[in-house]
């Protein structure tokens, strides 16, 4: 199927893209890698009258380290994140997550900003971004504001991003020395999307108990979420099999699980509990207290 007619604009800078957004109004959409928007346009689920291509904006394509922060531009691709020496060394959880996205073609074109702004409930990145407690820098002609990851995802394919804003970059603190992490998912066989995806980050204290636990879950609900009940249940506990099972049992607490042709709500909830336990086990095994 072909998309509806639209006009194509190629921005050379963030400033130009913001100006185009303002001038073209509600009918304009930003285009980055295109792996989310273009299929929706072909199915006529989205019919923008203007596309603003930001794929060539150099200031959005950088990975850098400033002080104690890792900065990843919105148009950095999944493959660049998965292969970056800096990301693998200091944000290994994000690199592992990026390596699990789609296939080679998708990873070479898809971008972190496009994925997060699209907010597909089955996307991989949100689980890791939540567990890593990232912050997202959003820019408009009025200035820049920073939104915490846990406040960015609002509902099904809905974020805190305003129509006049661009997601400029994602900001992370490096994973602490000695912390263990894991990203595991149950993929939909054809697309690779996460029917459930769990990112776990654990720091152990000197006595072997869980000092800090962060768990992000994607795929089971209309929006990704931090599994705070799991985190609370395990924090301060020795991570033996009993404690892990008890904590993971809370993975779907308070969540309205999705149900579709791929998995029922009950199956998704059970997958969340199973994959949360497995991700925690792998993260803890990787810890170096």
pLDDT of residue 289: 67
- Which residues lie across from 146 on neighbouring strands? 137
What sign does the dihedral 234-237-239-241 (CA atoms) show?
A: negative
Greatest CA separation found in the chain?
63
Domains of the chain in start order, with CATH, are: 7-52 (3.30.43.10), 63-172 (3.30.465.10), 180-285 (3.30.390.50)
pLDDT of residue 41: 85
Name the nearest CA neighbour of 48 among 74, 29, 72: 29
User: For residue range 180-200, what is the model confidence (pLDDT) as tens digits?
Assistant: 999 999 999 988 899 999 999
What confidence tier does 82 reach under pLDDT thresholds 50, 70, 90?
very high
- CA 264/CA 280 separation, integer angstroms: 24
pLDDT of residue 10: 95
pLDDT of residue 131 exceeding 80, the answer is: yes
**Contact between residue 21 and residue 9 where contact means Cβ atoms under 8 Å apart:** no
- CA 32/CA 56 separation, integer angstroms: 9
Average pLDDT in the chain: 95
| pTM of the complete model | 0.95
Between 43 and 35, name the one with better pLDDT. 43
User: For residue range 217-239, what is the model confidence (pLDDT) as tens digits?
Assistant: 999 999 999 999 999 999 999 99
pLDDT of residue 45 exceeding 90, the answer is: no
- CA 127/CA 198 separation, integer angstroms: 6
User: For residue range 107-125, what is the model confidence (pLDDT) as tens digits?
Assistant: 999 999 999 999 999 999 9
What confidence tier does 177 reach under pLDDT thresholds 50, 70, 90?
very high
pLDDT of residue 87 exceeding 80, the answer is: yes
pLDDT of residue 26 exceeding 90, the answer is: no
pLDDT of residue 2: 81
Within 8 A by CB and 6+ apart from 271, the residues are 186, 195, 196, 220, 263
């Amino acid at each position: 199927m072909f998309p509806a007619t639209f006009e194509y604009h190629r921005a050379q800078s963030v400033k130009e893209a913001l100006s185009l957004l303002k001038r073209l109004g509600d009918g304009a959409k930003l285009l980055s890698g295109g792996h989310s928007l273009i299929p929706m346009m072909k199915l006529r689920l989205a019919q923008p009258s203007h596309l603003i291509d930001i794929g060539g904006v150099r200031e959005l394509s950088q990975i850098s380290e400033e002080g104690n922060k890792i900065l990843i531009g919105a148009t950095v691709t999944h493959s660049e994140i998965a292969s970056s020496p800096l990301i693998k060394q200091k944000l290994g959880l994000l690199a592992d997550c990026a390596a699990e996205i789609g296939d080679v073609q998708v990873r070479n074109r898809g971008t972190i900003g496009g994925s997060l702004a699209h907010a597909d409930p089955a996307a991989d990145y949100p689980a890791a971004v939540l567990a890593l407690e990232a912050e997202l820098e959003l820019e408009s002609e009025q200035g820049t504001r920073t939104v915490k990851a846990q406040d960015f995802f609002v509902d099904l394919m809905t974020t805190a991003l305003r129509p006049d804003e661009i997601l400029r970059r994602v900001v992370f603190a490096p994973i602490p020395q000695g912390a263990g992490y894991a990203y595991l998912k149950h993929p939909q066989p054809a697309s690779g999307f996460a029917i459930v995806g769990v990112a776990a980050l654990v720091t152990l204290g000197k006595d072997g108990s869980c000092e800090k636990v962060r768990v992000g879950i994607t795929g089971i609900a209309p929006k990704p979420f931090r599994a705070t009940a799991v985190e609370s249940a395990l924090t301060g506990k020795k991570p033996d099999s009993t404690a892990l099972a008890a904590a993971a049992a809370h993975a779907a607490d308070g969540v309205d699980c999705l149900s579709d042709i791929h998995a029922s709500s009950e199956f998704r909830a059970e997958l969340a509990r199973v994959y949360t336990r497995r991700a925690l086990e792998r993260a803890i095994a990787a810890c170096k207290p």
